[in-house]
């Protein structure tokens, strides 16, 4: 008897190890068990609100929305249930060094890697199940470690190395095309292009129309979306070049916004968090490359210009405004502050703000059939807030439940995150 029990246990542990190895080697770990989630208020990610319903999850995907499904594994009634958010613009490996100073996103030490892993963890805990990192080559190992289930974090898409406009020095159209192909070969999910100087330096154009045309056309040929850092005139130039999405867009005119709406070009403006974070962490950034006293003085003005842009964009019929924070060191895990900024300072409708980080965000990534909505067949990326963001946008700070790909990473009691939770990094 004893002996056979031992044999059975021995076999069991071998099987268990195999299962774990399999999980680590496949995508994110996923339970095979059927999970039923009960919701009293559910935003499906497309703008619809469902009441008193249940979501059935099997493996990594949602298999049904069925009010009669049971037994209930997670009772999320009295919360607001919605799809995990998508941040279209983050810099997930951007960190502060041990001396407390801005260290950028190219760190290569073990400590740097742990900090990048921490950025990923706090971003996931804040309800963001997918982020697009724009971008750094060391996004790649982080992206892959998360995908293998080695680390908890959001699904990461990366631009690897961006194309930085430097006028003529950027290269000929042929050289630019070769650079785009190099990123594709390196494993890029998307192409990032800088067509303007930093707004702190005036925001002038750094690529000609011909260079932009080449960059965005080659990206399209390689099956990559092209996201362009653009201010002022560069917004129109990138739109004319057929690029996919404009990042920032500060000082775009109403006509530029109208043209973007006509052409289906996505706009990813920032209503506050990125600049608020710089101001909050001024001492950590000041004196590091690109951060001067003059630059900081300009930021306050830029913040007002960005509020104005988001106000005008929200009123432009048909313009697709996605959610991107431009999260750098100090902002990771506080990405949702940008929702509050958009609603409070940018005049964005709260439901539109949610959709911008759900189904519209997924559409902009070309992943609408996989993420961004709660529907059968989609990845089971589901979060719950203690509060209703449509009535009180600050509820986005109170993420009490996070599931990604069918795995629950966070499930804390209602009330565990105080209503005044907030802005400190
Ligand atoms: Zn950025």
Question: What is the distance between the alpha carbons of residues 382 and 130, in angstroms, rounded to a whole number?
Answer: 12
pLDDT value of residue 215? 98
Q: How far is the CA of 1 from the centre of ligand 1 (A)?
A: 64
pLDDT value of residue 276? 97
Q: How far is the CA of 171 from the centre of ligand 1 (A)?
A: 22
For residue 422, the SS3 value is coil
pLDDT value of residue 200? 76
Q: How far is the CA of 178 from the centre of ligand 1 (A)?
A: 23
pLDDT value of residue 10? 38
pLDDT in tens, 77-112: 999 999 999 999 999 999 999 899 999 999 989 999
Q: Locate tokens 């431009």: which residue?
A: 326
Question: What is the distance between the alpha carbons of residues 338 and 50, in angstroms, rounded to a whole number?
Answer: 25
Q: How far is the CA of 351 from the centre of ligand 1 (A)?
A: 25
Residue 128 φ/ψ, nearest 5 degrees: -95, 110
Among 211, 273, 204, residue whose Cα is nearest residue 233: 204
Q: Locate tokens 């805990």: which residue?
A: 125
Q: How far is CA 110 from CA 99, 115, 116, 419, in A?
A: 16, 9, 10, 36
Question: What is the distance between the alpha carbons of residues 17 and 214, in angstroms, rounded to a whole number?
Answer: 50
Element (H, E) at 83: strand 80-83
Tokens of 180: 């785009």
Q: How far is the CA of 91 from the centre of ligand 1 (A)?
A: 6
pLDDT of residue 207 exceeding 60: yes
pLDDT value of residue 29? 54
Residue 236: pLDDT band with limits 50, 70, 90: very high
| Mean local confidence (pLDDT), 142-171 | 97
Half-sphere exposure of 61 (CA within 13 A, CB side): 8
Q: Angle 354-355-360 (CA atoms, 0-180°, nearest 5)?
A: 145
Name 57's bridge partners.
35, 62
Q: How far is the CA of 319 from the centre of ligand 1 (A)?
A: 21
Question: What is the distance between the alpha carbons of residues 381 and 372, in angstroms, rounded to a whole number?
Answer: 8
pLDDT of residue 420 exceeding 80: no
Q: How far is the CA of 247 from the centre of ligand 1 (A)?
A: 8
pLDDT value of residue 48? 98
Q: How far is the CA of 289 from the centre of ligand 1 (A)?
A: 15
Average confidence score pLDDT of the chain: 92
Question: What is the distance between the alpha carbons of residues 144 and 168, in angstroms, rounded to a whole number?
Answer: 35
Element (H, E) at 197: none
The answer to whether the beta carbons of residues 335 and 126 sit under 8 Å apart is: yes
Q: How far is the CA of 89 from the centre of ligand 1 (A)?
A: 6
Give DSSP secondary structure letters for 317-334.
Answer: TT--B-----B-TTTTT-
pLDDT in tens, 7-45: 333 333 333 333 333 444 444 555 568 999 999 999 999
Residues 6+ apart with CB under 8 A from 73: 35, 36, 37
pLDDT value of residue 421? 65
Q: How far is the CA of 376 from the centre of ligand 1 (A)?
A: 33
Pairing status of strand 382-385 against strand 266-268: unpaired
Q: How far is the CA of 217 from the centre of ligand 1 (A)?
A: 22
Q: 390-415: b or e for each residue (b if 16 or more CB lie within 10 Å)?
A: beebbbbbbbbbbbbbbbbbbeeeee
The answer to whether the beta carbons of residues 331 and 274 sit under 8 Å apart is: yes
pLDDT of residue 311 exceeding 60: yes
Residue 154's region, left for phi above 0, alpha for psi from -120 to 50, else beta, is: beta
Question: What is the distance between the alpha carbons of residues 192 and 283, in angstroms, rounded to a whole number?
Answer: 28
Count each helix (H run) and each strand (E run) in the chain, helices first: 13, 16
Residues 6+ apart with CB under 8 A from 107: 93, 95, 97, 113, 115, 116, 138
pLDDT value of residue 9? 38
Tokens of 403: 């599931």
pLDDT above 90 as % of the chain: 87
pLDDT value of residue 417? 81
pLDDT in tens, 247-294: 999 999 999 999 999 999 999 999 999 999 999 999 999 999 999 999
Q: What burial class does residue 1 get, using C-beta atoms within 10 Å of its C-beta: 0-12 exposed, 13-18 middle, 19+ buried? A: exposed
Tokens of 157: 């898409």
Who wins on pLDDT, 201 or 343?
343
| Mean local confidence (pLDDT), 380-386 | 98
Q: How far is the CA of 85 from the centre of ligand 1 (A)?
A: 18
Residue 155 φ/ψ, nearest 5 degrees: -60, 130
The CB density around residue 298, as the number of other CB atoms within 10 Å, is 18
pLDDT value of residue 425? 47
The CB density around residue 247, as the number of other CB atoms within 10 Å, is 27
Name 74's bridge partners.
37
pLDDT of residue 350 exceeding 80: yes
Q: How far is the CA of 225 from the centre of ligand 1 (A)?
A: 16
Residue 236's region, left for phi above 0, alpha for psi from -120 to 50, else beta, is: alpha
pLDDT in tens, 147-157: 999 999 999 99
Q: How far is the CA of 90 from the centre of ligand 1 (A)?
A: 6
């Amino acid at each position: 008897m004893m002996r056979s029990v031992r044999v059975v246990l021995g076999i069991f542990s071998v099987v268990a190890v195999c299962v774990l190895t399999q999980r680590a080697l496949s995508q994110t770990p996923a339970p095979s068990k059927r999970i039923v989630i009960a919701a009293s208020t559910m935003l499906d990610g497309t703008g619809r609100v469902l009441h008193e319903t249940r979501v059935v999850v099997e493996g990594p995907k949602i298999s049904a929305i069925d009010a009669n499904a049971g037994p209930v594994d997670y009772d999320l009634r009295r919360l607001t249930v919605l799809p995990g958010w998508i941040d279209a613009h983050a810099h997930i490996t951007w960190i502060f060094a041990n001396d407390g100073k801005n260290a950028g996103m190219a760190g290569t030490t073990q400590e740097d890697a742990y900090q990048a892993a921490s950025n990923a963890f706090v971003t996931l805990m804040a309800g963001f199940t997918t982020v697009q990192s724009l971008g750094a080559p060391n996004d790649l190992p982080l992206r892959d470690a998360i995908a293998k289930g080695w680390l908890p974090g959001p699904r990461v898409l990366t631009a690897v190395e961006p194309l930085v406009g430097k006028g003529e020095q950027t290269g000929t159209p042929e050289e630019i095309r070769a650079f785009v192909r190099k990123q594709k070969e390196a494993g890029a999910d998307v192409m990032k292009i800088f067509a303007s100087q930093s707004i702190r330096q005036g925001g002038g154009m750094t690529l000609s129309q011909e260079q932009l045309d080449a960059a965005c056309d080659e990206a399209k040929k390689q099956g990559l979306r092209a996201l362009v850092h653009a201010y002022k005139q560069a917004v129109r130039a990138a739109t004319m070049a057929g690029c996919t999405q404009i990042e920032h867009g500060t000082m775009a005119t109403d006509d530029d916004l109208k043209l973007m709406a006509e052409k289906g070009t996505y706009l990813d403006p920032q209503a506050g968090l990125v600049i608020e974070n710089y101001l909050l962490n001024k001492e950590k950034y000041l004196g590091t490359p690109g951060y001067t006293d003059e630059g900081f003085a300009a930021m306050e003005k830029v913040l007002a210009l960005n509020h104005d842009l988001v106000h005008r964009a929200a009123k432009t019929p048909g313009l697709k405004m996605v959610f991107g924070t431009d999260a750098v060191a100090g902002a990771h895990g506080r990405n949702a502050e940008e929702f509050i900024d958009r609603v409070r300072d940018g005049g964005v409708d709260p439901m539109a703000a949610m959709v911008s980080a759900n189904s519209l965000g997924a559409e902009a990534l070309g992943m609408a059939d996989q993420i961004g909505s709660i529907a059968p067949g989609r990845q089971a990326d589901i979060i719950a807030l203690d509060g209703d963001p449509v009535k009180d946008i600050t509820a986005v700070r109170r993420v009490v439940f996070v599931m990604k790909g069918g795995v629950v990473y966070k499930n804390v009691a209602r009330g565990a995150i105080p209503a005044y939770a907030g802005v400190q990094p």
